[in-house]
């Protein structure tokens, strides 16, 4: 199943409280449940003004549907072509 990186521009994302992040996560999970098991949220990284999310999904269009239903921005969606890490140097 393809993996995607989603860039979400959210001003002051790094200042969101634990409660705000929990509410966002709950909304995302609710939408995912309604969309079915074909789309999965793996993890997200919160920076000062953006959130980067890793998803597994059959298509970019399903990720866009999740964003639309959840009211989340999806400024950039990129398919992961391969993965490297320090062991790739060996």
Would you say residue 78 lies in a domain? Answer: yes
Assess if residue 89 is contained within a domain.
no
> From CA 77, how far away is CA 14, in angstroms rounded?
21
pLDDT value of position 77: 98
What is residue 83's predicted lDDT score, i.e. its pLDDT?
Answer: 93
Are 29 and 44 in contact by the 8 Å Cβ rule? The answer is no
- pLDDT < 50: residue spans in the chain: none
Residue 88 is assigned to a structural domain of this protein? no
Question: Considering the domain boundaries, does residue 60 fall inside one?
Answer: yes
> Taken in order 29, 32, 38, 39, is the CA torsion positive or negative?
negative
Residue 34 lies in a domain: yes
pLDDT of residue 13: 97
Structural domain tally of the chain?
A: 1
pTM: 0.92
């Amino acid at each position: 199943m393809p993996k995607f990186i989603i860039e979400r521009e959210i001003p002051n994302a790094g200042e969101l409280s634990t409660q705000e992040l929990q509410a966002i996560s709950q909304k995302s999970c609710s939408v995912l449940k309604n969309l079915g098991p074909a789309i999965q949220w793996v993890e997200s990284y919160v920076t000062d003004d953006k959130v980067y999310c890793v998803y597994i999904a059959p298509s970019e269009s399903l990720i866009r549907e999740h964003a639309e239903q959840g009211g989340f921005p999806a400024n950039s969606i990129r398919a992961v072509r391969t993965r490297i890490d320090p062991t790739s140097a060996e």
